[in-house]
């Protein structure tokens, strides 16, 4: 698998990462197989959050990692915090407490990366800075980032932080492309021209932040998978056509489409099926032509101006 440098951290990770949200439902044997298959396929970044499975996903992962042949220092452990029931919380106390609990559940002394999960409107950036500084100083977190944040929220944080933000985790799939649409429909009056994210793609490239694409197979927010979905006949027909041509699955093609973006986006796949993980990871060996990329974009219902 090809590698991507995460921000300006110097960390080299596989092109594709594994989201562990659904790991709480696996047996120890199955979770171990998922970790070993992922690692053998080139995945070395495993994405968690304190809320996944109410914390159980981190617990199952830790037990499975110990049972596997994969060593802690061979992988990149990433977790997220900031979501509480019914609210968001970026207070110093919540960040520190959340990280402490995640470390205990993950049975590790440190996180490689900590992300702030969703923007907290009541955020005091000085409190985030205090938490990050203490976590860095104590060795509990090596690097930091955000998730679902727009550029001005990031700039507000950066004004107070001494640590660099290396990642922004954002929703992106072949059928969820608002970040891309606005950049193609400049100065137009159509719906696609509406800028919903303050030009995150360009901002991320300018500021050397790696975008991690969550839900790369989903339509809507988390309403379902579009691969093989009869509600998306054109995009599936095009995916199947190209998949047969390149000898891979439609899912691998959908990931290859994301990887083709020059800013080197790192998709976060959430499959807990070892065979499917292997198939999806073949995307890293595929480079779509410009014609193929735009064909897929148009097949998802997008019109070029």
Predicted confidence at residue 183, as pLDDT, reads: 95
Predicted confidence at residue 223, as pLDDT, reads: 82
Encode the chain (305 residues) as per-residue pLDDT tens digits.
999 999 999 999 999 999 999 999 999 999 999 999 999 999 999 999 999 999 999 999 999 999 999 999 999 999 999 999 999 999 999 999 999 999 999 999 999 999 999 999 999 999 999 999 999 999 999 999 999 999 999 999 999 999 999 999 999 999 999 999 999 999 999 999 999 999 999 999 999 999 999 999 999 877 899 999 999 999 999 999 999 999 999 999 999 999 999 988 999 999 999 999 999 999 999 999 999 999 999 999 999 99
Residue 80: CB atoms within 10 Å: 25
CA distance 153 to 172: 19
| Tokens matching residue 273 | 């099926």
* Nearest residue to 249 via CA among 221, 274, 277: 277
Are the C-beta atoms of 178 and 184 separated by less than 8 Å?
A: no
Task: Please state the domain extents for the chain.
Answer: 3-299
CA dihedral 250, 255, 257, 262 (to 10 degrees): -160
Predicted confidence at residue 271, as pLDDT, reads: 97
**Catalytic residue at 52?**
yes
Residue 206: CB atoms within 10 Å: 11
Predicted confidence at residue 172, as pLDDT, reads: 97
β partners of residue 18: 46, 269
3-state helix, strand, coil in the chain (%, to 5): 45, 20, 35
CA dihedral 171, 142, 198, 52 (to 10 degrees): 30
Q: Please, what is the end-to-end C-alpha distance for the chain in angstroms?
A: 35
Which helix or strand (DSSP H or E) is residue 142 part of? strand 141-147
CA distance 35 to 63: 11
280 three-state secondary structure: helix
CA distance 113 to 216: 21
Identify the active-site residue in 52, 143, 203, 297. 52
Phi-psi region of 272 (alpha: psi -120 to 50; beta: other; left: phi over 0): alpha
Indicate yes or no: pTM above 0.85. yes
CA distance 260 to 147: 21
Fold of the domain spanning 3-299: TIM Barrel (3.20.20)
CA distance 49 to 55: 8
Predicted confidence at residue 250, as pLDDT, reads: 98
Predicted confidence at residue 220, as pLDDT, reads: 83
């Amino acid at each position: 698998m090809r590698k991507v440098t995460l921000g300006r951290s110097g960390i080299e990770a596989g092109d594709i990462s594994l989201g562990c949200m659904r790991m709480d439902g696996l047996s120890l044997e199955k979770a171990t197989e998922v970790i070993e298959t992922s690692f053998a396929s080139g995945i070395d970044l495993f994405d968690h959050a304190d809320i996944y499975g109410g914390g159980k996903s981190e617990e199952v992962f830790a037990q499975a990692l110990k049972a596997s042949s994969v060593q802690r220092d061979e992988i990149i452990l990433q977790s997220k915090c900031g979501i509480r029931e019914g609210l968001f919380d970026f207070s110093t106390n919540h960040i520190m407490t959340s990280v402490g609990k995640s470390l205990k559940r993950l049975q590790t002394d440190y996180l490689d990366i900590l992300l702030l999960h969703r923007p907290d409107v009541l955020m005091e950036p000085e409190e985030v800075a205090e938490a990050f500084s203490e976590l860095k100083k104590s060795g509990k977190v090596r690097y930091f980032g955000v998730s679902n944040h727009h550029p001005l929220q990031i700039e507000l944080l950066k004004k107070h932080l001494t640590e660099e933000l290396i990642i922004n985790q954002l929703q992106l799939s072949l059928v969820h492309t608002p970040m891309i649409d606005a950049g193609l429909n400049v100065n137009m009056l159509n719906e696609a021209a509406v800028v919903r994210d303050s030009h995150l793609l360009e901002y991320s490239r300018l500021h050397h932040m790696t975008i991690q694409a969550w839900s790369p197979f989903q339509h809507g927010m988390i309403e379902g998978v579009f691969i093989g979905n009869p509600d998306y006949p054109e995009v599936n027909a095009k995916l199947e056509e190209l998949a047969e041509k390149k000898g891979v699955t439609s899912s691998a093609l959908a990931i290859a489409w994301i990887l083709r973006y020059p800013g080197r986006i790192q998709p976060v796949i959430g499959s807990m099926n070892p065979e499917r993980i292997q198939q999806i990871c073949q995307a890293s060996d595929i480079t779509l032509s410009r014609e193929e990329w735009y064909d897929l974009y148009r097949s998802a219902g997008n019109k070029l101006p």
